[in-house]
Chain A
Amino acid sequence: MARNQITLEQYIGFRKQKEFGEKKKVNIGKVISFAFLLIFCIVWLSPFVIMFFGSLRGFSDTMLYPKELFYPHSGYTLENYEMLLLGKLPEGIGQVNSVQDYKIGTWFLNSCFSAIGGTVLYLFVASLAAYAFTFIDFKYRNVLFAGIIASMIIPGAATAVGNQSMVYSMGLNRSLLALIIPGLGGVYGMYLIKTFFESIPKDLIESAKMDGYSNFKIFYKIVLPLGKTVLFVQGLFGFMGGWNDLIWPQMLYGAKDNDLWTLQVGMAYIINNSKTSNLIGSALAGGVICLLPVLVMYIIAQDKIIEGMSSSGIKG
C-alpha cells in the first residue's frame, strides 16, 4: 500500500488546522451550480439518448407502441440501419420508393472527402500564405494582407452565387473537388494561423537562415512543428465545418445528384421523406451515422477543441 509521504511538520499542520477549525467551507455557490448544471446537462443531453434509442426501435413499434421509447416493445432492432445502409425494407412497411435514393455510404465518403480533404488542403495552402505574410518581406505585403483581412467584412452570401456559377464554368459542377477548392480562399483560418505564426520569435527564423536553411526548410522544419497546435485546432474546426456544412453542397449538387451529395444534404432529404412514424426511425439512424464521426472526434479531442475555441475567443 502506498503511503502518504509527508513531513512531520506537515502532519502537525494538518492536526492544527483541524483543531483551529478552518474547515473547508461548503461553498453554497458550488453546490447550487453543481445541482443546476447536473439538471441542465441531463435535460440537454436527453435528445442524444432519444435519438440513439429511437434509431434502435423498429417502425412497427414506433407506430404501435410509441411510448415505449427506451425499451421497444419488440426489442432493439437494427432494421433502420439496414434500411439506410442496405436498402433492405423491413417487412410490412409497405412501399417506400425514396429509400432507393438513399446512398448513405456514398454520402458518408463524400463528406469524409470534403471534410478531411478540404481541411488538409486548406491548412497547407493557408499556412504557406501565412508564412509568407509573416516571415517573407515583399513589396506591398502589408497592403495585400490588409486588403485580404478587410474582405472579411463581406459575408459569404455575397460570393456564394458567383462561386456557384464560377464552379460551373470551371466544369467542376460534377466533381467533388467543388466541395473543397472554393474553400481554399478562406480568410479567417489563414488569419488565425498568421496570428499564431507572429508569436513565433523572429530570432528563431533568422538564426535558422544563418544556419543556411531555405524558406521551405524553415517552413516545414521549424514553423510547422511549432504551429502544430494551431494547425490542429484549425484542422478540427475545418473538419467540423466541412462535415456540418449544408448550404454549399446543396447549392452545388442541387436537388438530384445524389451520387455527389454529402451526408448533410442526404440527411436533409431523408428527413423530408421521414416525417411519418414509420420512417422516423430511419432518419434517426441516419442522424446517428451522421453524428458519430464528429462525436468520436469530439470525445477524443474535446480538450483541444475547447481550448482552441477559448483561445480564438480571447485573441480574436
Chain B
Amino acid sequence: MANLDNKPVDGGMQVPAKDAGKILKKSGYKIANNEVDAFVSLKDINKIYPNGVQAVYDFNIDISENDFIVLVGPSGCGKSTTLRMIAGLENITSGYLYIDKVLSNYTSSKDRDISMVFQNYALYPQMTVFDNIAFPLRARKFRMPMEATVVKAYNQVIDVLDNRIDEFKEAFANAKDKALNYGTTVEYVATKMKICDEAAKILCKSKAASPENIKNTAKAKIESEINKLSSQGYTMDENYRLLKDGKLQYHYVKMSNEEIRRRVFEAAEILDLGPYLDRRPKELSGGQMQRVALGRAIVRNAKLFLMDEPLSNLDAKLRVQMRSEIVRIHEQIGATTIYVTHDQTEAMTMATKIVVMSKGWVQQIGTPQEIYYNPNNIFVATFIGSPAMNIFDAEYDNGKLIFKNGYEISLSEDYIERHNKYYEAKIQDLRRMLDTDDFKKMHALKVLDKILFNLEAQKDAYALEKAVDDVLGIIEGTECSEVVKNLIAQYKAENNGNPKVDKKWLLKIREPLLTFEKIPSRDIGLLHNAQVFSKEEIVVDDTLYYQKPKKKNNKKNVKSNINLNSTDIEFINNLYEVASNLLAKCEKALAGKHPIRVGVRPEDIVLNSEFTGNKTEKFMVKSNIVELLGSELLIHSEFADANIIAKISTNVLIKPHTDVELAMNQDKILIFDDSCGDRI
C-alpha cells in the first residue's frame, strides 16, 4: 500500500552514501530513472531457472504508452516467462525492468499497478461476476482526494429539497416498485438523482416529509463540519475536496460501494456483461468468462495490461470475436497492453508491435508489416503468415539460385551485393568471436576432452602428452594460460620429466578452463540460431528449452545444485566447434557455390498467366489439393522436392490433379543463409 503512496525519487540523484538508505525508504524504495523515456522498458532481461535453463536471453524492448505489444512464439519460447516477469510473478535473474520510469525489479505485483488476464481466466469460482469484477477494487485502498463527505451529502440534500423535490419523490416512489428491484431504495435514488449515497440515505429516511426541518438540521451539520475542518487547517474547494495550504490533500481509502458499483457497471457495459452479473463463473461460457476476466482487469484503470494467452481456451469463432473485442476495448480505454500468444494470426491482427521469440531469444521486434515482409530470419519468416512461407533448398552460384530440380532464378545485382556483404560481415564477426578468450578456452576444452576420451580408450601416452601441449598452445594469451602452464610444469617436475598422462591431472587442468561467462549474449544467440536453424542441426537435448523434461531425464534436469567447478560435467556440445564450423561455411559461401534456402510467400507464387509483374521463369506443377477459401484458392503441390502452397485469387478455377503453370514474384523472393537461418 505504502508503495503507491510515495513518489519515486530520481535515481540519477547524487546523494551522500549514508543517506541513501533513508532516502530510499522515504520513497517507499521507488527509484525512477528519468532517462528511460518509454512507458515500459525492459533492459537486458535474463531469466535463468535454477536448473540452469535460460528461458529468456537479453530481452530488450521499449514500450510506449497505448502500445499493444504482442509477444509471439511457439510454446516454450519464453514469452510467458517474460510476461510473468513484468507482472512480478517471476523473479528477474538479471537486467532491469522499468514501469513508468520506476525501477520495478523488486516491487511486488500488487504495487506495480498492473492488471492481468490469465490464460485460464483465474476467476474466483465462489463469487458472482459482479464480485469477481469488483474484487480488485475491494482488495486495496486507493489514493483519493480527501473530501468533506458530510458537507457534500447535506449540501446535496439541501439542493434536492430546494430544487428537485418532485424528482426525488418520483424516484422514491419508483424505488418502491417491485418490478424495479434495484438493490436498495437508497442506491436507486442515489443513482437516479446523481447524488451520493449518504445524501440519498438522509433523504429516504426522512422521506422529505418536512423539508424545512431537514434543511435546518442540514445547515447546522454543515456549519459544524466546516468549523471542524477549518480548525484542522483544511479548506474546501467547490467540489468539496479538501485543501491544505492550497494543495489538494490525498488519502488512501477503501473505495466506497457507490464507486465500486459504478465502476463495475461501467466495465460490464463495455463488456456487455450486464445480464450475467449474478452468475458464478461455472455458469458462464468460455467467452463470457473471458470477458469477466477482462472486466476484472479493466475495472481498476491500471496503467498496464498484461494478457497471457487469453484466447487460447476459446473455440475458433469466439476467438475471432473476442479478438476484435479486445482491440475495441484497447482502443476505448487506451491502456498499454502486453499480450502473449502463440497464435501468429492474433499477433498480426491485434498488435501495434510484435515481438517474435524463439527458445528464449527475441528474433525480431517490429510492426506487423515489418515482420511479415522483412523477417529477420527463417524462423520469423516461417512462423509468421498463414499458410506458412514456402521454403526451398537451393544452391547459390554467383547470383543464381539453382533449385533441386534444376530450376534457376537469376538474382538481381542488388541481391548479390547483399549476399557478399552479409557473409563478409559474418566472417568478421565470427573471427572476432573465435579470438576471444572464452572461445579459446572452449577450444582447449574440446581438445582436452578428446584427450580424456583417448585416455580412457588407452591410446598412446606420448601422443597424449603432446596433445596437452597443444592445449597450452591454444590458450596462449588468455588469462588462464598461466595457471595451466604452471599446472603442466608442476606435473612435469613431479614426474621427473618422464610424464605419464593420467586422468586426475587432466581433470585438474580442465578446471581453470571452465570459465566463460564473459561471452556476450548476442554471440550465444547467434550460435544458438546456428545450432537450431541450420539444416545439420546438432541434436540438442530438447528438454533444455521446453521445461517439460522427458521422464527419464527428469532427475538430471531438475538437479539445480550441480557443482559448477566439478570436473564431472560433460558437455554435449561445444560452442567453439559451432562457431568454427559456421566460419568455415561462411568462408566457403563467399568462395562460390553453396547451399542456401529460398523463401517465397504463398501469395507470391502466382499463376503465370495472371501475374504481370516482375516474375521468374514459369514452371509447371501438378495440383494435389485445392482448397477454396472463399476469395482465394490454396493450391498444394510439389516442386523441387518440397511441398509448395500457392495462394491465388479465385478468378481462375483450378481443379485438383491438373497441371498448373506457376511463377514466382521475383521482387518478393527471400533468401536465407543455410547455416544460421539469417536472411541475407
Contact = CB atoms under 8 A, between A and B. Distances in A.
A13 B54 CA distance: 6
Interface string A1-17: 11111111111111111
A138 interface: no
B211 to A, nearest CB: 61
B537 interface: no
B420 interface: no
A24 interface: yes
Given A5-B556, A9-B54, A9-B524, A16 B569 contact: no
19 contacts: A4-B556, A4-B568, A5-B541, A5-B570, A6-B571, A7-B540, A9-B528, A11-B514, A11-B571, A12-B54, A12-B516, A14-B562, A15-B515, A15-B564, A16-B54, A16-B94, A17-B52, A17-B93, A22-B48
Given A6-B52, A8-B574, A12-B517, 19 more contacts: A3-B569, A4-B559, A6-B569, A6-B570, A6-B571, A8-B575, A10-B53, A10-B54, A10-B544, A12-B524, A13-B48, A13-B52, A13-B54, A14-B562, A16-B46, A17-B48, A18-B564, A22-B91, A22-B94
A82 to B, nearest CB: 49
A7 B544 contact: yes
Interface in A114-157: none
B217 interface: no
B571 A7 contact: yes
A19 interface: yes
A24 B54 contact: no
Interface in A10-35: 10-20, 22, 24
B544 A8 contact: no
A118 to B, nearest CB: 39
Interface in B549-595: 556, 559-560, 562, 564, 566, 568-575
A218 B365 CA distance: 58
B519 interface: yes
Nearest to B95: A20
A10 B543 CA distance: 11
Contacts of A24: 50, 560
B129 interface: no
B442 interface: yes
Contacts of B517: 12, 15-16, 19
Contacts of A11: 52, 514, 564, 569, 571
B84 to A, nearest CB: 14
Contact of B48 (A2, A3, A4, A16): A16
Interface string B79-95: 00000000000010110
Interface string B512-524: 0011110100001
A9 B569 CA distance: 13
Main secondary structure, interface of A, reads helix
A269 to B, nearest CB: 50
A10 B574 contact: no
Contacts of B559: 4
B409 to A, nearest CB: 37
Contacts of B564: 11, 14-15, 18
B442 A4 contact: no
Contacts of B544: 7, 9-10
B168 to A, nearest CB: 54
Nearest to A25: B91
A8 B564 CA distance: 12
Interface of B: 46, 48, 50, 52-54, 91, 93-94, 442, 514-517, 519, 524, 528, 540-541, 544, 556, 559-560, 562, 564, 566, 568-575
Given A9-B524, A20-B46, A24-B50, A4 B93 contact: no
Contacts of A1: 568
Contacts of B46: 16, 20
Contacts of B48: 13-14, 16-17, 20, 22
A261 B572 CA distance: 67
Given A9-B54, A14-B564, A3 B541 contact: no
A14 B442 CA distance: 16
A16 B515 contact: no
A11 B515 CA distance: 9
Contacts of A4: 556, 559, 562, 566, 568-570
Nearest to A9: B524
A94 to B, nearest CB: 61
B404 to A, nearest CB: 33
A3 B516 contact: no
B581 to A, nearest CB: 14
A17 B48 CA distance: 6
Contacts of B442: 8
B573 A8 contact: yes
Contacts of A5: 541, 556, 570-572
Contacts of B528: 9
Contacts of A16: 46, 48, 54, 93-94, 517
A58 to B, nearest CB: 49
Contacts of A7: 540-541, 544, 571-573
Contacts of A15: 515-517, 564
B570 A3 contact: yes
A15 B48 CA distance: 10
Nearest to A23: B50
A14 B564 CA distance: 7
Contacts of A17: 48, 50, 52, 93
The 7 A-B pairs at the shortest CB distance, nearest first, are namely A3-B570, A14-B52, A20-B94, A17-B48, A13-B54, A13-B52, A10-B52
Q: Which of B52, B564, B575 has the most CB of A within 10 A?
A: B52
A6 B562 contact: yes
Contacts of A3: 568-570
A22 B94 CA distance: 8
Contact of A12 (B519, B556, B560, B562): B519
Contacts of A13: 48, 52-54
Nearest to A22: B93
Contacts of B53: 10, 13
Nearest to B577: A8
A282 B130 CA distance: 65
Interface in A36-79: none
